[in-house]
Amino acid sequence: MTEKITRDDLEAGIRQLQGGAKQKVVDKRKALVTGVGIAAVVVLLLTFMLGKRAGNKRSALIEIRRL
């Protein structure tokens, strides 16, 4: 005859599924945080370089000569 499924059996099965899912989320979170950090640094550097270039185009070069 078949055995009845108890509450403990169900809880153990659900915990096993949750444990695997939680570990995957933790692993993905580390990679995501690293990727976002690198992207932020790249955006800041790009903004700095474009701003520096625009500043060079707009600034006037004044030459002072002694007579």
Query: Which pLDDT score, from 0 to 100, does residue 43 have?
Result: 96
2-60 pLDDT per residue, tens: 788 899 988 998 888 887 777 788 888 888 999 999 999 999 999 998 887 666 666 66
pLDDT beyond 60 at 1 = no
What does the alpha-carbon distance between residue 63 and residue 57 come to, in Å, rounded to a whole number? 16
What is the spatial distance between Cα 48 and Cα 42, in angstroms, rounded to a whole number?
10
* Separation CA 28–CA 25 (nearest Å): 5
